[in-house]
Amino acid sequence: MPRISTIELIKTPEQPALSIRTRTPADKLPMVIGQAFGKLAAYLGALGVHPSGIPFVAFHNMDMADLDVEMGFPVAEPLPGREDIQYAPVPAGRRAFCMYQGAYSEMAPVYDEMAAWITANGYTPVGTAYEYYYNGPDVPEPQLLTQIVLPVK
């Protein structure tokens, strides 16, 4: 059964990151994410740099037929991009967040619950939604751990 932590509010500083931004239908997203994370990891390895945080996917829209997504790794400092890998920091700001445990395919109600919490607490959602993946495809679906972050004002 999917579980979420308490929804909370945080203020975060800008986070340097390298990322790959693309468009894809939702059914191709797992493959696109895997390829992007592999390419980013290889590039960081070639630079002799390790990620400074949890890998993420930024959702610039929620059109399941044509998602505008950005897969990235936080880094300690600005780094040069190469080809489709770009330096693209995660912006500073106020964010509602929670930790979700369960299958990715069952996340929609969590987003609904977070939207209700944001409205009930007098905030307005703004900008890009982020999902930070604490473990990966080798973990059973009920044990997947994802932090969901929604910018607010």
* Three-state DSSP string of 69-138: EEEEEECCCCCCCECCEEECCECCEEEEEEEEECCHHHCHHHHHHHHHHHHHCCCCECCCEEEEECCCCC
Evaluate if residue 129 carries a pLDDT over 80: yes
Evaluate if residue 67 carries a pLDDT over 70: yes
Predicted confidence at residue 136, as pLDDT, reads: 84
Predicted confidence at residue 60, as pLDDT, reads: 97
Where residue 27 falls among pLDDT bands split at 50, 70, 90?
A: very high
Mean pLDDT of all residues belonging to the chain: 96
Q: Which residues contact 89 (CB under 8 A, 6 or more apart)?
A: 14, 15, 16, 17, 78
Q: What's the mean pLDDT in 3-23? A: 96
Predicted confidence at residue 3, as pLDDT, reads: 86
Q: Is the model's pTM score more than 0.85?
A: yes
What is the distance between the alpha carbons of residues 55 and 46, in angstroms, rounded to a whole number? 18
What is the distance between the alpha carbons of residues 22 and 31, in angstroms, rounded to a whole number? 12
Evaluate if residue 115 carries a pLDDT over 90: yes
Where residue 26 falls among pLDDT bands split at 50, 70, 90?
A: very high
Q: Is 150 helix (H, G, I), strand (E, B) or coil?
A: strand
Strands 93-101 and 129-133: unpaired
Paired tokens of 112: 């609904």
The rounded percent of the chain whose pLDDT value lies above 70 is: 99
Where residue 54 falls among pLDDT bands split at 50, 70, 90?
A: very high
Predicted confidence at residue 2, as pLDDT, reads: 67
What single-letter amino acid sits at 66?
D
Evaluate if residue 33 carries a pLDDT over 80: yes
Q: Which domains does the chain have, with CATH numbers?
A: 1-13+92-153 (3.20.80.10), 17-88 (3.20.80.10)
Evaluate if residue 1 carries a pLDDT over 90: no
